[in-house]
Structures are given as C-alpha cells and as structure tokens.
Homo-oligomer: A and B are copies of this chain.
Amino acid sequence: MTGVRPWRTASGTFAQDTATVAQWLAAHRATVESSTVWSPCSPGDLLSALPRQLPTDVCDLNAMLGELEQFVMPGLVRWDAPGWFAWFPSNGHPHSLLGDLLGAALGQQGMLWMSSPACTEVEIRTLEWLRQAIGLPERFAEGGRGGGVIQDTASSAVLSCLVAARDRSTDGRAREEGMHAVGRLTVYASDQSHSSVLKAVHLAGIGRAQFRAVPVDEHQAMEAAAFRDMVEADIANGCTPVFCCATVGTTASGAFDPVIDIAKACTDYGLWLHVDAAWAGTAALCETFRAPIMAGADHADSWCFNPHKWMGVNFDCSCLWLADRRPLINAMSITPEYLRNDPTESGEVVDYRDWHVQLGRRFRALKLWLLLRCTGVQALGAMVEHHVELATWLAMQVQDSDAFELAAPRSLGLVCLRHVNGDDATQLALDTINADGRFAATHCRLHDQLAIRIAIGTLDVEHAHVEALWSLLSASSPS
C-alpha cells in the first residue's frame, strides 16, 4: 500500500523533498538572465514530446524533476525575467511563495467560518491591513457594513458585483424570476475597459447588446458627460441602467477614468459603481501616487485590485472590497441542509462562500500576510517608486527621440510608444524586441494606431535592463 497514508510513510521525507524542490527552483531562477524570455516552443512541441499514455511505473522525486527539465522547462515563459515588459507583471515574491506553501499544506477549506475560523478571520484582518496600507476609504473597513474578500481574479470579482447590482436593482426579481421578467438592464464601462466586464455582462444574462462602451477622451479616459448622456438615453428608451465599471489604470495604456464625475451620475441614477484598479491599485501603497488612484473611491460600491499583478503576491489573489456586503450575500447565498451550522445561524460570522461564485476556497490570505509582514509596505512602496522612475526615464528618452513618440501619457510604470513612421515601423520595432531573447513586450491600439506597451514592474528590473531595451530600440530604428 505504498503511497497510501503518505504522511505516515513519507512524513520523514516531506521536509527533505520540499528542500530538494526549493533548491531546484533556486537553480532554475538563477538561469533567468541566460534564458530567452519567450518560450522557443512551437504549438504542439510539448505534446509531441510527452508520452501519450501515463507511464504505469511510479518515479521518485529526482526522476520527476528530470521529467520537468525535459518536458516542461522548454515551454516556460519567463514572467520573472527583468526584461519582462509584456501585458502586466505577474510577480511571485519569495515571501508570498512561502505563504502559499503554508496555505496549501495546512489544508484548510474556508467555505464556512466553521470549516476554518483561521482562513476566515485571518482573511478579514489581512484585507483590513491592506485597506489601510493603500488608503482605501473607511467606507470599506472591517466592522462596517461592507468589508473585504479575496477573489481569484478581477474577472470573478466584477461578475460577482454585477450580479449583486443586477439583483439589487430588480429587488431580487432577476434572481428569482429570471432576466426574461425584468426587461433590459444596461451596463456601462469605457471602450478601454477590461474584457472581463463584457464577459460578465454576458455570463449574467444581460446580453452584449445592453453593454454600453462609453467613448474616451484623447487620454483614453471615460467621457463622464457621454456616460451620463447614455444613461439618460437608455432610461428614456425604457432600459434600467444598473452598473458602471470605472477603470483606474486601463489595460492598454493605464488611463484613469474620472471616477468622481462618474460617481455623480451613478448616484443620480442609482447605478452600482465598481472600480477596477486591478493593476494600478498596487501603486496606492505609495503615498506619492495614492490620491488619483483613490479619487472617487468614497462613492464606489465596490473596489478591486490584484495583488497578484504588480505587488508580488503570486497568482491568484484579487482583493475586492464592498461598501455594503448585503447585496452580494443576497446574490450568492444558498444554504442546503448539509451546510447548516450553529455559527452561521447565529449571524455572528462571515461565511466567505457567500461572497463569490465558488463554494470551496483555499487559504490565500497567508501569502498576502507574509508579504505584508516580512517584506513590508515600505519596501513594496519603494519598489513601486523604483519602477515609476524607470518608466519616467524611458518616457523621456522616447520624447527626446526622433524615431519614437509616446502613444499615450506615461502612467505609473507603463509606457506606450510608437514609431513616428506608422504601424509597420512600430510592428518592426516590437518584433525586434521580442526576437532579441532578453525582452518581452506586447501591443495595443490607441487612436487606431499600433502602440508598444512597456509595462515596467517585475521584482528584479533595474535601470540597466530598461537602458538595454532602449538601446535595442534606438539602434534598430534610426529615424
């Protein structure tokens, strides 16, 4: 019965095996600057290499690590490289990884307070610490009508809030009778908002035709006046506006929607205001950058950012705060007999299963706690400042250049640039970056022109890396 009762038979080796894996990981990590950032694999390469049938023999850990070297390593993308400027960073700080290991190995399943008081109450308090650290208004504090919860991703968070808003606006009829009984509900976000908003509109049964992509100004920020006009036009046409997602730091160019003005229209017409600060929220750890990130947060119904992007909590960890938790709980709560228990019935406890789509949940708060406690807010803030300095330097080079120009104002650590000769030249420059091996960058379109996104934010990036990127660009594209 090898492999059964493993803690008894293998408890002597767990600590040792984990140490072996950690050494292997440290060695892998040491190759980061000598590896190509993008995987050299073509589609199907790994599938061709891997056996089609699961081998029937079992192997030991060292053999397993050998299989990983052979079959997995070639397919890795080095999101941890200091030359990683693609999409947004997805950092995993060592302190977070230790917390993740602890959370996994303690084996808690936090669906109910009763199923793990530790998973529940540590999450409540860790989210309160984080709220204080980023300066999110008291309106979202622990102990008030709202509170915080860890979701897996901002996509799940916006879906949860949209469903809560949908049900709140229809007095629960959308939930009980169904969407066919409540007419057309409309949802708003800028045409630069994240795709997850439209996806949520679709999942919640509202229909893509009822999603209003509000136009943006020349800096890619939502036109608040256009938003108000669209809401009024929809009401005149018999629709019920229910939800607006304001973005603080758009995915393409890092633009900040004017949340204060958006909030006024939401208040006037009873819309739920959700703020998506998935990437930019981390910068609020730093007082220097906080004010614009938090502008208008005082009027939001929900506010979300992803510590698994820039902050260093390894994926997944998306933090959502509610001003009032009741609409969310009303939307999510179903209690079958087998989940009934005295603490829940008492109403004294938080049961986090009622705060999201999933029933089960892992102990994610530990990785956040270890990062906050062992790295600390000050060091994380200094990291953000460092990244913004690098981005500022790069933006200055672009502005001084004859070949390139900024495609949008620099936003925190994000610089969008394009070649002055148009899309073909910009594409060539992007291809040069991605063919080099040391760097990764991705693109967006702004004002219908191609732009290269340089998102500076990995844990190890230094001036030399950004300088090398700029040298490559300058050399490849003389004006």
Contacts and interface: CB of A to CB of B under 8 A. Distances in A.
Contacts of A22: 14-15, 18-19, 22, 101
A204 B207 contact: no
Contacts of A376: 3, 56-58
A306 B364 CA distance: 19
Contact of A444 (B14, B338, B462): B338
B184 A4 contact: no
A136 to B, nearest CB: 13
A230 interface: no
A315 to B, nearest CB: 5
Interface string A332-348: 10111111110100101
Contact of A442 (B44, B54, B338, B343): B338
In the A-B complex, list the 4 residue pairs whose CB atoms are closest, starting with the nearest: A205-B205, A178-B207, A3-B379, A75-B118
Contacts of A23: 15
Given A22-B15, A54-B132, A382-B1, A118 B46 contact: yes
A339 B194 CA distance: 11
27 contacts: A6-B93, A6-B312, A7-B459, A8-B460, A14-B29, A15-B25, A25-B101, A39-B118, A43-B113, A54-B372, A58-B376, A75-B119, A77-B115, A77-B118, A87-B115, A91-B107, A92-B105, A92-B107, A109-B315, A153-B360, A163-B202, A178-B179, A178-B185, A180-B181, A181-B207, A252-B338, A338-B443
B109 A79 contact: yes
Contacts of A359: 153, 155, 195-196
B179 A179 contact: yes
Given A7-B29, A18-B101, A107-B80, A180 B177 contact: no
Contacts of A50: 121-122, 125
Contacts of A383: 1, 3-4
A144 interface: no
A199 B331 CA distance: 9
A129 B382 CA distance: 46
Given A55-B373, A199-B357, A251-B338, 7 more contacts: A11-B26, A15-B25, A47-B121, A58-B375, A58-B376, A75-B119, A195-B339
Given A107-B80, A122-B46, A362-B315, A178 B117 contact: no
A199 B442 contact: no
A229 interface: no
A324 B39 CA distance: 29
B93 A97 contact: no
A75 B1 contact: no
Contact of A204 (B43, B203, B373): B203
The residue in A92, A118, A153, A386 that gathers the most chain B C-beta atoms within 10 A of its C-beta is: A118
